[in-house]
Amino acid sequence: MDTKATLHLVCGKIASGKSTLARQLSTDQKVILINEDTWLSRLYPDEITSIKDYVRCSSRLRSIMEDHIQLLLQAGLSVVLDFPANTLDIRQWMLSISERAGVPNCLHYLNVSNKTCKERLHIRNASGSHEFNPTDEQFDQITSYFVPPTADEGLVIKLYEE
pLDDT for residue 28? 87
For the whole prediction, is pTM greater than 0.85? yes
User: Is 141 within a domain?
Assistant: yes
Q: Is 161 exposed, middle or buried (0-12, 13-18, 19+ CB in 10 A)?
A: exposed
pLDDT in tens, 104-126: 999 999 999 999 999 999 998 89
User: Is 1 within a domain?
Assistant: no
User: Is 83 within a domain?
Assistant: yes
Range of the domain at 50: 7-161
Q: Say how many domains are in the chain.
A: 1
Give the count of beta carbons closer than 10 Å to the beta carbon of residue 89: 8
User: Is 2 within a domain?
Assistant: no
CATH of the domain at 45: 3.40.50.300
User: Is 52 within a domain?
Assistant: yes
